[in-house]
Structure 1
């Protein structure tokens, strides 16, 4: 591709990349191959930028491995707030570059965490997260719930067609475990204490602090649940399920699968309104800031 720089009217590009190759050049451009050039490449599966001109000579490598054969877009989003900005020459600004409906209001005060507003969700492929122990079969999930309000799903295991084969949902400040066909069990929610869901070959255990509830799994439910880890459609859902009208909002200071913390930026998909690295401490009234 060749571009005429005198006709360029925007300063960004975006694309999706799919590769199994851990090393190579994705994009190279120059105005002078000796003095002014730019390279975007993969080195050991991770993206690397090389910039060379009269003002700077920089090489930076960062981010997750991209050589897994999946499609990746190289435009990582930042969860943060801006305020009191002066942008170039206000007299020259003709319109906002981002529709206001896509901007989030910022809280007066915030804390680290992951905030799910009502109706939002994130989705992980079960094959992408730490796998269950085999002998004996066991799988655990730990949620650090800092805030919770409303009613709706917190977490579910299933497939896109049947997303709730096993689920946790919030109801009247209680966490309710449902297996689909069997009875439910519930546990009063205590914010600030880790909430742990343990799956074994014949039962589900929900505990928080010194409180524990045990749900025996029927053989049919158990068989369908175990199949989730061996099929490509197996999913871990956080927040509202597809098609669900949910009033639940919650803040997590961490989510662990098999003791390993999950990175929300590595989710298969997620709602744009999720705050991936911050939680409001007070009412989210919005101020003179943009999220």
Structure 2
């Protein structure tokens, strides 16, 4: 995806960039211990690896580039993440295309210029969108679904140096230190790229992982737990005043879930709370100390409110399905101190070794999670690599 803008000067095309990619579902070794992949396949960008490390990358000589246009399709519900990167001069001049708040964000560094621009339609709607990046004179132009989406122009004070040296390309990460970016962002994207046409390049790409993960054919918004791990937060990131209580709300088809949905524990203490779904009995159970609440009706939305001396549970906004569980002052004299010092996990029982496969890990899709009335972004959690933060298979 050559996205290095090429500047017209003195009749010469200079590479600032505009490139990237070409890979397949199957690959062969290249003698360096890395699998080679080649163009047009569908690739999942959210695959587990070092946070800023690209998924695939390649290096080509600038003299081999004959085209300054690339296109591909992108599908995601994730509002933020790196799509692709390219650089010249071993990283002195570089380009990054990403999403931020769901809209395209382009950042370019060329000698004495560092620019960024964001705009165009939101792309995190779960639909396939065709993106085309081209160099038009002193501008890099991004088109989305055939319409103009974004333009970035730069003008350098330095003389052109011609098409010399190598061009490095990467998908899903960057090859420079992330602090050099003008706009900081979360790099990992729960999304897919397919049908790439990347300049005129036929050079194989190298996978930075042992195997490329596939993409689901059809997806829906939510967080998907395949039963192999959990995501946890420090509860201190959800500040609360004692009189206000704590609200945790979950949306989804609970009859299709199996395992622990929510657990809360403070260091050195017994498990404070566990919310567990049983797919065999279509039962959802909330356990608070010695007290248990069993819900056998079909549940699509569950609101749990923690107050000083009780926990209130509301199913599907139906007051007739409201229940309260007392908090024993003998067992827990300071529940809110427990909240300030503890951990909250989605998808498993706290106390299990993170990453271990166990019967308590959740299998299923949570379509939406809110804590204190705010959507919970699992990208900000300590989570198992198998969990998809923003999409579920349908």
What TM-score range do you get, normalising by the shorter chain?
A: 0.5 to 0.7
Structure exhibiting the larger radius of gyration computed from Cα positions: 2
SS at 2:291's partner residue?
coil
Which structure 2 segments of 5+ residues have no match?
1-31, 33-49, 53-87, 96-105, 119-183
- 1:150 Cα shift? 5.2
Aligned pairs for 1:194-209 (under 5 A) are 194-209=301-316
Larger RCO (CA within 8 A; separation ≥ 6): 1
Asked if 1:126 is matched to 2:183, the reply is no
Asked if 1:278 is matched to 2:391, the reply is yes
Could you say which residue in structure 2 is the equivalent of 1:110? 219
C-alpha distance in structure 2 between counterparts of 1:132 and 1:81, whole Å: 37
SS at 1:133's partner residue?
coil
Could you say which residue in structure 1 is the equivalent of 2:330? 220
C-alpha change, 1:248 and 1:14, in structure 2 (3 Å) is closer
Contact kept, 8 Å, 2:258 with 2:364, in 1: the verdict is: no
SS at 2:333's partner residue?
helix
- State which of 162, 168, 174 in structure 1 corresponds to 2:283: 174
C-alpha distance in structure 1 between counterparts of 2:186 and 2:202, whole Å: 26
C-alpha change, 1:245 and 1:86, in structure 2 (3 Å) is farther
C-alpha distance in structure 1 between counterparts of 2:361 and 2:374, whole Å: 29
C-alpha distance in structure 1 between counterparts of 2:225 and 2:51, whole Å: 27
Could you say which residue in structure 2 is the equivalent of 1:80? 191
- 1:49 Cα shift? 6.0
C-alpha change, 1:238 and 1:184, in structure 2 (3 Å) is same
- State which of 107, 110, 115 in structure 2 corresponds to 1:58: 115
Contact kept, 8 Å, 2:107 with 2:116, in 1: the verdict is: yes
1:139-188 deviation line (CA, Å, top 9, x unaligned): 111111246535321001113655731111112322211123x1211112
Question: Under a length normalisation based on structure 2, what TM-score does the superposition of the two structures give?
Answer: 0.49
C-alpha change, 1:199 and 1:57, in structure 2 (3 Å) is closer
C-alpha change, 1:161 and 1:147, in structure 2 (3 Å) is same
C-alpha change, 1:111 and 1:166, in structure 2 (3 Å) is same
Q: How many residues align?
A: 226
Could you say which residue in structure 1 is the equivalent of 2:139? none
Q: CA RMSD in A?
A: 3.8
1:1-34 deviation line (CA, Å, top 9, x unaligned): xxxxxxxx9xxx978xxxxxxxxxxxxxx96xxx
- 1:53 Cα shift? 4.4
C-alpha distance in structure 2 between counterparts of 1:227 and 1:205, whole Å: 19
C-alpha change, 1:51 and 1:236, in structure 2 (3 Å) is same
SS at 1:165's partner residue?
strand
SS at 1:115's partner residue?
strand
Which structure 1 segments of 5+ residues have no match?
1-8, 16-29, 40-47, 62-72, 282-291
C-alpha change, 1:110 and 1:230, in structure 2 (3 Å) is closer
C-alpha distance in structure 2 between counterparts of 1:248 and 1:139, whole Å: 23
C-alpha change, 1:74 and 1:165, in structure 2 (3 Å) is same
C-alpha distance in structure 1 between counterparts of 2:376 and 2:298, whole Å: 22
Asked if 1:239 is matched to 2:297, the reply is no
Question: Under a length normalisation based on structure 1, what TM-score does the superposition of the two structures give?
Answer: 0.64
Q: Which moved more, 1:147-156 or 1:208-217?
A: 147-156
Q: Which moved more, 1:215-224 or 1:203-212?
A: 215-224
C-alpha change, 1:96 and 1:126, in structure 2 (3 Å) is same
C-alpha distance in structure 1 between counterparts of 2:252 and 2:331, whole Å: 27
- Bigger share in strand: 2
Contact kept, 8 Å, 2:232 with 2:346, in 1: the verdict is: yes
SS at 1:227's partner residue?
helix
C-alpha distance in structure 2 between counterparts of 1:133 and 1:199, whole Å: 12
